[in-house]
Amino acid sequence: MAVFRHSAESLVQLVSESVPERILSDLIADYLRATQGINPGRSERKSWDRSIPILARDLVEAGLGGVEMLIEYQLPLTSKRADVILAGRDRRTGADSYLIVELKQWSQAELYEDDANMVLVSGMGHRPKLHPVLQVRGYCEYLADFAGALDQHQNAVRGVAYLHNASDPDIHDLYDHVEDERTRLFSKTRRGQFVDYLKAQFAPESGAAAADRLLSSAIRPSKQLLKVAAGEIKNRDQFRLLAEQRLAYEMVLHAVEKARAGNSKQVVIITGGPGSGKSVIALSLLGELSDRGYSALHATGSRSFTETMRRVVAKGSTQVKAMFKYFNNFMTANPNELDVLICDEAHRIRETSANRFTKSTERTGRPQLDELIAAARVPVFLLDEHQVVRPGEMGRVADITAHAHGLGLAVHQVDLDAQFRCGGSRKYEQWVLRLLGLDGDAPEAWSDDDHFTVSLAESPHELEALLRSRLDAGHSARMTAGFCWPWSAPNGDDSLVADVRVGDWARPWNVKGDRAVGNAPASALWATAPGGFEQVGCVYTAQGFEYDWNGVIFGPDLVYRDGRLVTVRSASKDPELMRKKVSDEQADRLIRNTYKVLLTRGMMGTAVYSVDPTTQEFLQKLLESRV
């Protein structure tokens, strides 16, 4: 792993000889830009010049000039960076010792509304920040969980929040969060105590070897983390695998055993429609592999899905949350560092990991599929090709197979034919495929199925009333729509704009960002958190989830004309489809797949309504109208 490193002594010498004054920040910025593609901002550069020399001089004063300073250390498989990790030898045992230092330039801070986990910093607005001790404690736990060099030595990592510009009276209530010796807080007032603390931690010898071992460490979940994850996940009653589900599960376990025994590599692909149990297989595998001591991680390309996995499956465990990653977390992973990478919702794999936030210097052009296959001895892909809904998504069986064969890798494929969503109704799934023209057959009238209810609402008012009655009866319910209306930012009074308008009926889309707006949950939690029913969901928040009762509004982008449903690209407000490089043929397929996703979220029933009168009349012929 590339990181800007110097011994404390050499860094003090570098700074003392620096002309011009900003040479340190220039050097760090140049190094990060060249090795990690990071282009630091002005405030970050200023903090390096003002904070890092202070820490280096404290180390030299403590007689620890040989301790290595690893500056802007990027934590494994994440974009988060620790300000400085000090690497050296433990004064008592002689073993490797590491101290994560979170440097803050704050001069005054207080607890935010008496919440021990958040602080309000003077001169930095009214938005709270995470308590620095909590921040550095999280870094310590995460590093111990993912750096292979620390697998048997998790106590070798300690943490410090150093507020070197603050006096004790100006941060006095922040000390309430200091709960143990492994994570400490020091201020300018306590600089002498900080120097004594450093002396107690490190021997005066060089820390170069300890730094080398950390930087060259394999990146994988620790045995302790795997044990915790197995306990959280493995023995859940809902993880019961049937028929092809069990076959897929056993296929992966066999591939893992074979890969380890033969020091080889192979790929497993598991396909299935909505509700066929792909995610149950994925989580069952994560629990079982963790229990057996294999290094395994779960990854998706969906923020909503990953955040829900972290929230529901991890149940508040910070350690287990770290087992759930995003596809773009593996851009810089070393080859085969994991035994298994479980790629759930693999139809969301992109052409590359770069997105609109990726700086031009970071864009390598490497296919995301190549990154995922390279990261583990056995990459596992679970997907539904009919759920490819964005341009640039490459998660198709043919794409994965061709890439794997191009690398000389064997590919094993299991197709799931079970149906656990939509009341287990295979009939409904086929009805949807025919309705949308996704399987080559003409649409057909819906005939009743004891396992699933399909109905037509005569207005959005009626659709909402039906779903609300189900919600009031204790069921889960959500309403979604095709992406045919603009999606506005919240109003200035922290309320949502009612963008989805049909006649005199109007409702807002789900929240765009990561934080709740009023009673509306953050976008990642729309499908599962209280308050989500009051907004209309889009495909990007509904995909991957299920609820008992499902309502779908057909927008003007999919209408009935000349005996079949046709797409109208110009009616879409999806920014992804408004890009010129997306062909009309691609847009047609993506719009149809979008409605396939929306129509297959319900467990007990689906009600539909179309804003287009001709399409509504067509649906009327296929469905007996009932509410």
Q: How far apart are CA 619 and CA 627, in angstroms?
A: 15
Nearest to 596 by CA among 521, 559, 542: 542
- β-pairing, 564-567 vs 558-561, is antiparallel
- The answer to whether position 305 is within a domain reads yes
The one-character DSSP state at 441 is S
Question: In this prediction, what percent of the chain has a pLDDT beyond 70?
Answer: 88
Q: What is the pLDDT at residue 128?
A: 79
> What integer is the mean pLDDT of 552-559?
95
pLDDT surpassing 50 at residue 530: yes
Q: Cβ neighbours of residue 540 under 8 Å, at least 6 residues apart?
A: 302, 304, 389, 523
How far is CA 585 from each of CA 284, 390, 440, 576, 592, rounded to the nearest angstrom? Answer: 38, 13, 16, 14, 11
Contacts 24+ apart (CB under 8 A), 355-362: 355/328, 359/37, 359/38, 359/39, 361/33, 361/37, 361/38, 361/39, 362/36, 362/37, 362/38
pLDDT surpassing 80 at residue 33: no
The residues facing 202 across adjacent strands are: 90
Encoding tokens for residue 363? 């864009």
User: Under DSSP, is residue 477 helix (H, G, I), strand (E, B) or coil?
Assistant: strand
Kindly state whether residues 535 and 472 are assigned to the same domain. yes
Do residues 443 and 564 make contact, with C-beta atoms less than 8 angstroms apart? yes
Instruction: Show which of 388, 415, 442 is a domain's final residue.
Output: 415
Kindly state whether residues 45 and 137 are assigned to the same domain. yes
Helix (H) or strand (E) holding 34: helix 23-36
Range of the domain at 76: 4-215
φ/ψ of residue 577, rounded to 5:
-90, -10
Q: Quick one: CA dihedral 325, 327, 328, 331, positive or negative?
A: positive
Kindly state whether residues 232 and 328 are assigned to the same domain. yes
- The answer to whether position 318 is within a domain reads yes
Q: What is the pLDDT at residue 321?
A: 82
Q: Is the pTM of this model over 0.85?
A: no
Name the band, by pLDDT with cuts 50, 70 and 90, for residue 315.
Answer: low
Strand arrangement, sheet containing 109-112: 109-112, 115-121, 129-130
Q: Cβ neighbours of residue 311 under 8 Å, at least 6 residues apart?
A: 525, 528
Give residue 41's identity as a one-letter amino acid code: G
Name the band, by pLDDT with cuts 50, 70 and 90, for residue 616.
Answer: very high
User: Under DSSP, is residue 5 helix (H, G, I), strand (E, B) or coil?
Assistant: strand
Kindly state whether residues 165 and 195 are assigned to the same domain. yes
Q: What is the pLDDT at residue 80?
A: 79
Instruction: Show which of 199, 215, 231 is a domain's final residue.
Output: 215
CA angle, 343 then 349 then 353, to 5°: 110
User: Under DSSP, is residue 228 helix (H, G, I), strand (E, B) or coil?
Assistant: helix
Kindly state whether residues 199 and 228 are assigned to the same domain. no
Kindly state whether residues 370 and 446 are assigned to the same domain. no
pLDDT surpassing 90 at residue 473: no
> What integer is the mean pLDDT of 311-337?
80
Do residues 278 and 272 make contact, with C-beta atoms less than 8 angstroms apart? yes
Instruction: Show which of 215, 245, 263 is a domain's final residue.
Output: 215
Half-sphere exposure (CA, 13 Å, Cβ side) for 543? 27
Q: What is the pLDDT at residue 493?
A: 83
Task: Domain count for the chain, please give it.
Answer: 3
Q: What is the pLDDT at residue 559?
A: 95
484-493 per-position pLDDT tens digit: 999 998 888 8
Residue with tokens 């090709």: 385
Name the band, by pLDDT with cuts 50, 70 and 90, for residue 166.
Answer: very high
> What integer is the mean pLDDT of 589-594?
89
Do residues 481 and 457 make contact, with C-beta atoms less than 8 angstroms apart? no
Name the band, by pLDDT with cuts 50, 70 and 90, for residue 232.
Answer: low
Q: What CATH number did the domain enclosing 338 receive?
A: 3.40.50.300
> What integer is the mean pLDDT of 258-287?
83
Name the band, by pLDDT with cuts 50, 70 and 90, for residue 154.
Answer: low
Nearest to 369 by CA among 249, 258, 269, 219: 269
Taking the CB of residue 193, how many other CB atoms lie within 10 A of it? 12
- The answer to whether position 627 is within a domain reads no
Kindly state whether residues 308 and 452 are assigned to the same domain. no
Kindly state whether residues 198 and 227 are assigned to the same domain. no
CA angle, 58 then 63 then 67, to 5°: 75
Average pLDDT score over the chain: 84
Q: What is the pLDDT at residue 627?
A: 42
114-142 per-position pLDDT tens digit: 777 788 888 887 777 888 998 898 889 88
Q: What CATH number did the domain enclosing 200 receive?
A: 3.40.1350.10
pLDDT surpassing 90 at residue 475: no
Do residues 423 and 451 make contact, with C-beta atoms less than 8 angstroms apart? yes
Q: What is the pLDDT at residue 19?
A: 47
Contacts 24+ apart (CB under 8 A), 483-488: 483/538, 483/539, 483/555, 483/557, 483/572, 483/573, 483/574, 483/577, 483/594, 484/555, 484/556, 484/557, 484/571, 484/572, 484/573, 484/611, 485/509, 485/555, 485/573, 486/573, 487/512, 487/538, 487/573
Kindly state whether residues 243 and 146 are assigned to the same domain. no
Q: How far apart are CA 10 and CA 4, in angstroms?
A: 13
357-376 per-position pLDDT tens digit: 455 445 567 888 999 999 99
Taking the CB of residue 316, how many other CB atoms lie within 10 A of it? 8
Kindly state whether residues 384 and 439 are assigned to the same domain. no
pLDDT surpassing 90 at residue 242: no
Q: How far apart are CA 523 and CA 241, in angstroms?
A: 30
Q: Cβ neighbours of residue 228 under 8 Å, at least 6 residues apart?
A: 317, 319, 320
Quote the radius of gyration of the chain (alpha carbons, Å): 27
- The answer to whether position 55 is within a domain reads yes
Half-sphere exposure (CA, 13 Å, Cβ side) for 36? 21
Kindly state whether residues 262 and 411 are assigned to the same domain. yes
pLDDT surpassing 60 at residue 589: yes
Kindly state whether residues 559 and 608 are assigned to the same domain. yes
Nearest to 339 by CA among 268, 396, 407, 259: 259
Do residues 75 and 83 make contact, with C-beta atoms less than 8 angstroms apart? no
Residue that wins the pLDDT comparison between 534 and 24: 534
E runs forming strands in 370-482: 376-383, 410-415, 453-456, 477-481
Q: How far apart are CA 521 and CA 247, in angstroms?
A: 38
φ/ψ of residue 537, rounded to 5:
-90, 155
- The answer to whether position 319 is within a domain reads yes
Name the band, by pLDDT with cuts 50, 70 and 90, for residue 389.
Answer: low
Do residues 270 and 412 make contact, with C-beta atoms less than 8 angstroms apart? no
Q: Report CA 261 to chain centroid distance, whole Å.
A: 32
- The answer to whether position 296 is within a domain reads yes
Do residues 591 and 569 make contact, with C-beta atoms less than 8 angstroms apart? yes
Nearest to 394 by CA among 351, 330, 434, 426: 351
